[in-house]
Amino acid sequence: MTKPSKQVAIPYLTAGKESLTLLLQVCLGAGLWLVVLLSLAPAHWQNLLAGQPISAFWQNLYLMGLYLWLGICLQLSLRRSGQKWQVWGLGKGWYKQLIPAFSWGLLAFGCLWFWGYGSGQVVSAQGPDLHLIGVFSLVSLSSLLSAWALAGIEEVLFRGWLWQVWQPALGPRQTLLLQALIFSAVHGESWHSGWLALHLFLIGLVLGGLRHVTGHLGASMGLHAGWIWAVLCLSQWGLLASAQGTYNPLREGPTLLVWLGPLAWVTWQWQRSESESAKNAAGSANVA
């Protein structure tokens, strides 16, 4: 008695089915996010679609939803490829440099704020009233959560997923430049300000360099989160007011100097790691 023949899946049909399933999941997630957003903000969705400014609360909600959707897409891509989070810079001990780097992010923006205050660009520099300290603490806590969420998703996207996709084919140096260029370009305001675009490009170099020399996302994520938290807190406290509206040090040419130190450190560490790798390779060749 002959056994029934087992059907063999055709590779390209299987791949097409998986791609279609992934596409439907991504579209479903995007659709649900848009429906929830538009139903919660009926007074703001027209401004949002028209590219006009919306309130800070709905803007944060919009960004949180967008980055959450991107995170879902990345997770689906990760599952489909069979890779692990470790290859995206989230391996063992990646979180150890979060807090030190977070402090450096606060310090970096703090230096730029003091420069703006000293040069007279920040016109509202009075501190918060003591009787409102509880309110400011609550605002700071909500901003802290937003800062970690936004920095986490952006770092996993640019210095995690994109780095892992491009680095094997292009090499670390070309990948560093490419991800920094895309990081600058996706921030819409950079299209209207050359100084802002250059600042964001240099920030992308610093964050990408940290990811390379440390081997994980802890340092870049912490630095990014500290910077965002400083911006959100000072903005909500009214300490970024300027004659032009809101003080943004990334629109100023002289403030580029703040990135010289981090870039120099990253370059030194990069060359040091390459030298050690070359010595190890030479030693292995001699032993062989």
The 3-class SS string of the chain reads CCCCCCCCCCHHHHHHHHHHHHHHHHHHHHHHHHHHHHHHCCCCHHHHHCCCCCCHHHHHHHHHHHHHHHHHHHHHHHHHHCCCHHHHCCCCCHHHHHHHHHHHHHHHHHHHHHHHHHCCCECCCCCCCHHHHHHHHHHHHHHHHHHHHHHHHHHHHHHHHHHHHHHHHHCHHHHHHHHHHHHHHCCHHHHCCHHHHHHHHHHHHHHHHHHHHHCCCHHHHHHHHHHHHHHHHHHHCCCCEECCEECCHHHCCHHHHHHHHHHHHHHHHHHHHHHHHHHHHHHHHHHC
For residues 258 and 134, give the distance between their C-alpha atoms in angstroms, rounded to a whole number.
Answer: 33
The pLDDT value given to residue 9: 44
The pLDDT value given to residue 143: 82
Contact 37, 65 (CB under 8 A): yes
- 248, two tokens: 């943004």
The pLDDT value given to residue 159: 92
More confident position, 86 or 126 = 86
The pLDDT value given to residue 222: 96
CA 64 from centroid of its chain's CA atoms: 12
Tell me the per-residue pLDDT of 112-124, one tens digit each, with 9 for 90 and over: 998 888 888 887 6
Q: Mean of the per-residue pLDDT values for the chain?
A: 76
Q: Is 120 left (phi over 0), alpha (psi -120 to 50) or beta?
A: left
- 261-281: average pLDDT: 87
The pLDDT value given to residue 192: 75
- 33-50: average pLDDT: 58
Q: Which range has the top average pLDDT, 139-143, 150-154, 207-211?
A: 207-211
The pLDDT value given to residue 7: 44
pTM of the model: 0.72
Least confident of 170-184, 198-212, 244-258: 244-258
Question: Is 70 exceeded by the pLDDT of residue 190?
Answer: no
- 175, two tokens: 């990948």
Q: How confident is the model at residue 126 (pLDDT cuts 50, 70, 90)?
A: low
Map out the domains of the chain as residue ranges.
17-82, 88-273
Q: Please provide the distance, in angstroms rounded to a whole number, between the alpha carbons at the two ends of the chain.
A: 58
Give the residue carrying structure tokens 């964001």.
200
Q: How confident is the model at residue 49 (pLDDT cuts 50, 70, 90)?
A: low
- 287, two tokens: 């032993």
- In 3D space, the residue among 127, 156, 129 whose CA is nearest the CA of residue 68 turns out to be 156
For residues 229 and 148, give the distance between their C-alpha atoms in angstroms, rounded to a whole number.
Answer: 8
Contact 212, 195 (CB under 8 A): no
Question: Is 90 exceeded by the pLDDT of residue 20?
Answer: no
Per the document, the length of the chain is 288
Question: Is 70 exceeded by the pLDDT of residue 131?
Answer: no
